[in-house]
């Protein structure tokens, strides 16, 4: 969420979200067959479906009441606005020069 105000002046509305642990083929590949089999009985309690993970992303993207947040941190967890849940890295206003240059190129 760094430089949200600068991006907003360029017409970009920056929002961040954490979709949670989502049970995807990538996650299953990371864990491997043995751990996946072990997690089988409890995985519904630990992980979200891809649809549930996407719900948080969509909530962040489609929430119209935040249009004039004016540089405030916009962070979603579990489909809800949760700015206090954001990490210190998300709250900082400092951006490495190479990332800032990349953002400027992408916005212009």
Q: How many domains, the chain? A: 1
d(CA 14, CA 103): 12
d(CA 1, CA 72): 9
**2 has pLDDT over 60:** no
* Count of C-beta atoms within a 10 Å radius of residue 81: 19
Token pair of 25, please? 């083929």
Q: How confident is the model at residue 48 (pLDDT cuts 50, 70, 90)?
A: very high
**69 has pLDDT over 60:** no
CB 29 within 8 A of CB 3: no
pLDDT at 39: 92
Per-range mean pLDDT, top range of 23-27, 41-45, 91-95: 23-27
Region 45-68: mean pLDDT is 85
d(CA 76, CA 106): 24
Domain range for residue 50? 2-106
Q: How confident is the model at residue 1 (pLDDT cuts 50, 70, 90)?
A: very low
* Count of C-beta atoms within a 10 Å radius of residue 48: 18
Of 14, 11, 10, 19, the closest CA to residue 76 belongs to 19
pLDDT at 71: 53
């Amino acid at each position: 969420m760094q430089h949200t105000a600068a991006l907003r002046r360029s017409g970009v509305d920056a929002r961040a979200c954490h979709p949670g642990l989502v049970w995807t083929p990538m996650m299953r590949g990371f864990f491997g067959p043995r751990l996946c089999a072990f997690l089988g009985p409890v995985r519904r309690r630990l992980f979200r479906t891809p649809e549930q993970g996407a719900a948080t992303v969509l909530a962040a993207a489609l929430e119209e009441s935040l249009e004039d947040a004016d540089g405030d941190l916009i962070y979603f967890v579990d489909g809800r606005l949760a700015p206090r849940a954001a990490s210190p890295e998300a709250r900082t206003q400092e951006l490495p020069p190479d990332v800032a240059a990349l953002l400027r190129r992408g916005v212009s």
